[in-house]
Structure 1
């Protein structure tokens, strides 16, 4: 397919995906989801790439959901495609690697946490800002809890404060930190590209069976997400933030 939100490169069994909208903070919208899902489907194929590398920009890996799209539409976006994309990253028969620089916010944290490995440079910071807008990270939490545990995910949700790369490494949200992060990625790819794809697939299914949180949490996560974005007061607050850059509590 033709990509408008992503740049996709494939070589030596490695598929590298880079977002192409830095002016929008690489936010997640319907087009981004459709395009990245198509890439992931290709990696799921038996003859597809065995490693999927997701990169971001120098300033922002992913700013989360597209508030502009929410503000401009009366429809409530279906969270299922996003949740199912993250599930595929977590369970697909390939190794998914998130390479993070700069700001990783809200749904961007979910995108990274769903991946098998998260690499970062020291500029990376991770935050869940949803409660500032009367929301909470319903779809993010099952993937984040698998990485950092319930209390740390709880703290990130309530504090809404960013944690730096060193803290994220200590908590297990990040697996490695190095400047520049490209060198760290190359070290990992030397081994990852040699792994047998069918063996990776069998292992990841087994790992999922050990802890079925992602599947068990899907129904309540989707229900909670739909309820939040259906709330008129919440939607009014989002529209005000988009148009006036003011948080809901600001006069």
Structure 2
């Protein structure tokens, strides 16, 4: 890896991690070094029990222009095997962010192109500024949005993917919200912190184990046929969490009309 200041990680006293792309001079485009830094920092957040939630953001005018041009030129000269290995690391990044065992909030301003749309799709909650523009631009240069496609198609649906994967048209934050990629649109990036604070305050009142299990539950039932295996799995999940330490604490706190011990106020 080169300059570790390209990706910043900070953790507040109340357990909110901020992971920041810090390459504004190249519109926060990412290359193999940045991907490895993001993977390492996401793994550290995943293993840190003091972290309650993760915010993914970037410095500068644009969230991310996607793949770095110099990196793409280098990859074009590499062998098929080298390209496969390289793509595997980007796929690893997307999978880590998508399945992170903490709630994740993505903050999108300016351009979010190519792989950056994948990063947004992998976040649990996405807030975009009004001027944000999204674009799955790969076909313009003869490529495809391959490793991000499972997450983007789940976020915006097959029907919208069939248009925007093929046309590479840019679409607005308002349109992204209609598609389901964005949850909330704010007037400007200056309002990100207020919106984030409101959401993280809500998250901090919830059971960390409960949120982690709820996220796993979504993946377990999403796009599954509702049949006996799924029904039995969901029954086992609720039985397991009811008898867990946090489940018992939450139920006791509710019945005793007190705050559970994970609320630190």
TM normalised by structure 2 equals 0.75
In structure 2, the CA distance between the partners of 1:171 and 1:43, relative to structure 1 (3 Å rule), is: same
Number of matched pairs: 213
Q: Report the CA distance shift for 1:72/1:84 in structure 2 as closer, same or farther (over 3 A).
A: closer
Report which stretch shifted further, 83-92 or 1-10: 1-10
Give the conservation status (yes or no) of the 8 Å contact 1:106–1:129: yes
- Give, in angstroms, the shift of residue 189 of structure 1: 1.3
Using the TM superposition, give the Cα deviation of residue 191 of structure 1 relative to its aligned residue in structure 2, in angstroms. Answer: 1.0
Instruction: Report if aligned partners of 1:14, 1:193 keep a CA contact under 8 Å in 2.
Output: no
Match of 1:225 in 2: none
Give a deviation string over 1:128-170, Cα, whole Å, max 9, x none. Answer: 1100111110112110111111011221111211111111111
Q: Which residue of 2 aligns with 1:159?
A: 167
Aligned partner (choices 148, 152, 163) of residue 144 of structure 1: 152
RCO higher in 1 or 2 (8 Å CA, sep ≥ 6)? 1
Which of residues 20, 35, 42 is equivalent to 1:40? Answer: 42
Give the CA deviation at 1:46: 5.2
CA contact (8 A) 1:13 1:193 kept: no
Task: Select 2:194's aligned residue among 167, 183, 190.
Answer: 183
Question: Partner of 1:16 in structure 2?
Answer: 18
- What residue is the counterpart of 1:61 in the other structure? 63
1:80 paired to 2:96: no
Structure-2 separation of matches of 1:41 and 1:200: 18
Query: Partners of 1:93 and 1:195 in 2: how far apart?
Result: 14
Distance 1:16 1:138, change over 3 A: same
Aligned partner of 1:91 in structure 2 is 99
Contact map agreement 1:7 1:20 (CA 8 A) in 2 = yes
Higher mean C-alpha deviation, range 123-132 or range 23-32:
23-32
Deviations 1:181-207 (A, max 9, x none): 332222111112333222222112211
Structure 2 regions of 5+ residues with no counterpart? Answer: 225-265
What is the rounded CA distance, in whole Å, between the counterparts of 2:38 and 2:220 in structure 1?
A: 25
Following TM superposition, the consecutive aligned residue runs of length 4 or more in structure 1 with deviations greater than 4 angstroms are none
Higher mean C-alpha displacement, 4-13 vs 109-118: 4-13
- For 1:85 and 1:72, the matched residues in 2 are separated by 20
SS in 2 for 1:4: helix
Measured after TM superposition, the shift of residue 44 of structure 1 is: 1.4
- 1:74-112, Cα deviation, whole Å (9 max, x unpaired): 224421121122112221210111100000000000011
Q: Tell me whether 97-106 or 9-18 shows the greater mean CA deviation.
A: 9-18
What is the Cα-based RMSD across aligned positions, in Å?
1.9
Q: If you compute each CA radius of gyration, which structure gives the higher value, 1 or 2?
A: 2
Any conservation in 2 of the 1:106–1:130 contact (CA below 8 Å)? yes
How far the C-alpha of 1:51 sits from its partner, in A, is 0.8
